[in-house]
Amino acid sequence: SPEAAAEALAKLSGGAAAATSDKITISLPEIAENGATVPVGITVDSPMTAASYVKQIHVFAEGNPSPETITFNLTPTGTADVNTRIRLSKTQNVLVAAVMNDGSVLTNKKEVKVTIGGCGG
Amino acid sequence: MANKPRVKLPKSAKAGEIVQIKTLASHDMETGNRKDKKGNKIPRLILNKFSCSFKGEELFGATMHPSVSANPYIAFSITAKESGTYDFTWTDDNGEVTKVSQDMSVS
Amino acid sequence: VNIARAASNQAITQDDLLKFNSVGQVTLLNFTDIHAQLMPLYFREPSVNLGVGEVYGLPPHLTGKEFLKKFDLMAGTADAYAFSSVDFSHLAGEYGRIGGLAHMATLIKAIRAQREPNTLLIDCGDTWQGSYTSLATRGEDMVDAMNALGVDVMVPHWEFTYGAERVQELISKLNFPFLAGNVIDNQWQEKVFDSTAHFERGGVKVAVIGQAFPYTPVANPRYMIPDWSFGIRDEMVQASVDKARAEGAELVVLASHNGFDVDRKLASRVNGIDVILTGHTHDAIPGIIEVGNTLLVATGSHGKFLGRLDLDVQNGKVKNYNYKLMPIFSDVIKPDAEIQAVVDAIRAPHQKIIGEKLGTTESLLYRRGNFNGTFDDLICNAIIEERETQISLSPGFRWGASLIPGQDITMDDIYTQTAITYPNVYRSEMTGETIKLILEDVADNLFNPDPYYQQGGDMVRVGGMGYRIDIQKSIGSRISEMTLLSTGEAIDASKKYTVGGWASVNEGTEGPPIYDLLADHIRKKKVIDVQPNTNIKVVGA
Ligand SMILES: [Mn+2]
Ligand SMILES: [Mn+2]
């Protein structure tokens, strides 16, 4: 549920409100082709140096029985650019939280529609 | 795991180059929420951990929950620094570890 | 060639259709959504094509008299006949059939003769499906025809309904690129097809980027293309544009099967596209729609039109352009002998089947429009009678030829409405709740105010029931007053009803093919008369 996802997010930021940020880009289809395997890509704008990097990227599915889907643990290397495929049981928001090395938390979200399908032009 | 996981990593790279690594495991990722034909609950059995390390140091990892799709696909990037072996591991709920290693030369 | 008939009303000639003030160095010739129609036909443009949100009242969401007014067309003229639904049956009698590949070829060849080194011919897709011969040859007839026509590049949608393996086979037979930059594989998330083709025309470097229909695995059976994933993927389009520009492209064209409203939004989000040739939503727009610096072209469907866009390109920018959307009035165009021979060779082996006369129609039969068309009502009635159900459902496809009052109904005509690779007519029980869920789902694909959530078809057609729809509401609350027509009672959410339908995207659907069921039905009836459906109440338009 959105409440469970919000609770999980609050735990990450120690109760402080996490800032919604366009530094996080979420790549998800507007309409899922197959709810069993929905490709998700996340990039966070960060230099990824020892001084400033993304430590964790959490992905929450608000509408799933349990919101946690995957947590990526990063180190100061490459770019903060991760991809995976997740299960989405119905139309819902996918919430992403990035925990920075200084402990601050950024979030962003995107809605994915899961539909019955059929028909076309 | 039924089949070995597969890893896509270039054979060589230039020092400082950002390299994308793609991994594809072969696993049902049984969620624990499904029932069999007799109505009995099918127990949860998923890969719950992924790790990529270089010379004993973890560069990238992931904690997975049942909402990760079957045959987990994980892609990420690293900065090429020196030649050597990258070790990839997947751990399931029973603690069973599957390991794949691949070399990359850096010039 | 019945020049006399058209000439008696208004003196249009082949030369009039071709009349054009050439501009600049590049001529883009474009058609789309030909749906395997090789022969001239009747095709009635929609009388209902509603737009919600930001696109309310904008083309292509204008129909009938409002459309004529917007584009300054006179009622009763040849253009009014080609572009709108106003007075259709009467004007069809006056101006005759429209389209035909050999007729289009005549115009293409005439323009090429005049502008040989400048011309690019671009097909925006839905080319291989929609006729008996395309189904019988699994798309090969259209590959032969398009090779003969000399198409320069194409993009796909219904092409995928022959299955992944067949698509690859047919691509290997094409003399030109098949582009689909937004298709990636389900294993490694990597591109399956080329995204860009490069040309040089009139000294201008032209990059054509191709976009397949983003919702192919949602709107059509996913099991036929299990390894491929689609989507709009703005960021991939932007990357292709940037790459093309970096490689020296002076003119960037997106050949797109996104649908018009999706492309209008995409044009505002992706920078550096000069022209979008749109497809999929079957809109025939007589002028260019400009979004920022991007020119949007919409050339209709069924081979009815050929678009010509001349561009003057200076320093990597379009400095000037001229556009004309030419209706293919087959009565006044001399068919090209070479392409006519190709068409005849394709059809000859099947003539006995497609030429069969099943009956006649006393009323206008058409499909296109947001809600039930008369041809759909005929199909819905056929399903209810032949499969003995209370309710029937028929997909909101935008393809299918129209038949005018007094016309024979042939097997050829049945296939222009039903030729698909998943034709089985199911019979099942559904609760009122499930039926509502289906209607709500499809309504949101059509009326979601964000075009990126629209799939570009029309509303699912219903037989045996009526409903009320408020297009301004959101998913789950648009549909109400669902009524079973046979009893006049309200449809009960928890009660089960027998429902028949076709074009299910689920694997293993059982039942007779729709084309056989419909042909049997018409053979029995002999004379068809379908009056406009009044069982759907639309509000919020
Ligand atoms: Mn089409
Ligand atoms: Mn289409």
Higher pLDDT, C8 or A111: A111
Mean pLDDT of A40-61: 97
Residue ranges in C270-406 assigned as alpha helix (H): 337-347, 351-354, 374-387
Confidence class of residue A119 from pLDDT cuts 50, 70 and 90? low
Asked if C189 and B8 come within 8 Å (Cβ–Cβ), the reply is: no
Asked if residue A46 is part of any domain, the answer here is yes
The pLDDT value recorded for residue A118 is: 60
Rounded CA separation B60/A72 (Å)? 7
The pLDDT value recorded for residue C7 is: 45
Please tell me the CATH superfamily of domain C22-38+103-346, with its number: Metallo-dependent phosphatases (3.60.21.10)
Which chain C residues are within 8 Å of A120, Cβ to Cβ? 157-158, 213, 215, 219-220, 395-397, 455-457
- Which of C257, C445, C448, C459 is the best residue to mutate to test the A interface, defined by the most A CB atoms within 10 Å of its own CB? C445
Residue C116 phi/psi, 5-degree rounding, is -45, -55
Residue C188's Cβ-count burial label (10 Å; 0-12, 13-18, 19+) is middle
Report the neighbours of A using a cutoff of 3 or more CB pairs below 8 angstroms.
B, C
Asked if C444 and A27 come within 8 Å (Cβ–Cβ), the reply is: no
The domain segmentation of chain C, as residue ranges, is 22-38+103-346, 48-99, 355-539
Q: What digits encode the pLDDT tens for the residues C277-329?
A: 999 999 999 999 999 999 999 999 999 999 999 999 999 999 999 999 999 99
Asked if residue A49 is part of any domain, the answer here is yes
- pLDDT averaged over chain C? 96
Q: What is the total count of domains within chain A? A: 1
The pLDDT value recorded for residue A18 is: 78
pLDDT value at B77 more than 90: yes
Closest CA to C206 of C33, C62, C24, C435: C24
Rounded CA separation C359/B71 (Å)? 55
Tokens 């004309």 belong to C324
- Inter-axis angle of helices C101-114 and C337-347, to 10 degrees? 150
Cβ of residue B19 closer than 8 Å to a chain A Cβ: yes
Asked if residue A89 is part of any domain, the answer here is yes
Count of CA atoms in the C-beta half-sphere (13 A) of C104? 36
Asked if residue A119 is part of any domain, the answer here is no
Give the CATH number, domain containing residue A99.
2.60.40.2470
A80–chain B nearest CA distance, Å: 7
Cβ of residue B42 closer than 8 Å to a chain A Cβ: no
Asked if residue A121 is part of any domain, the answer here is no
Confidence class of residue A79 from pLDDT cuts 50, 70 and 90? very high
- Domain C355-539: give its CATH code: 3.90.780.10
The pLDDT value recorded for residue C220 is: 95
Cis peptide before C60 (omega within 30 of 0): yes
The pLDDT value recorded for residue A1 is: 84
The pLDDT value recorded for residue A116 is: 75
C246–chain B nearest CA distance, Å: 21
Q: How far is CA C313 from CA B60, C29, C155, in A?
A: 49, 16, 24
Which chain C residues are within 8 Å of B73, Cβ to Cβ? 187-189
A121–chain B nearest CA distance, Å: 31
Asked if residue A118 is part of any domain, the answer here is no
Rounded CA separation B51/B89 (Å)? 5
Closest CA to C527 of C301, C363, C317: C363
Task: Please list, in sequence order, all residues whose beta carbon lies within 8 angstroms of the beta carbon of residue C72, skipping any fewer than 6 positions away.
Answer: none
Tokens 């009526």 belong to C466
DSSP state of B107: -
Residues present in chain C in total:
541
The pLDDT value recorded for residue A117 is: 66
Answer yes or no: CATH 2.60.40.10 is held by domain B6-74+82-106.
yes
- Which of B21, B23, B73, B77 is the best residue to mutate to test the C interface, defined by the most C CB atoms within 10 Å of its own CB? B73
The pLDDT value recorded for residue B2 is: 66
A69: nearest CB among B68, B70, B75: B68
Q: Which ligand is nearest to the CA of C159?
A: 2
Q: How far is CA A34 from CA C222, C230, C446, in A?
A: 9, 11, 20
Lookup: tokens for C178:
């098949």
Q: CB of C16 within 8 A of CB of C265? A: no
- Inter-axis angle of helices C411-418 and C374-387, to 10 degrees? 100
Q: CB of A82 within 8 A of CB of A57? A: yes
Closest CA to C214 of C256, C277, C176: C256
Q: Flag residues of chain C having pLDDT under 70.
A: 1-10
Rg (CA), chain A: 15
Name the residue range of residue A88's domain.
Answer: 2-113
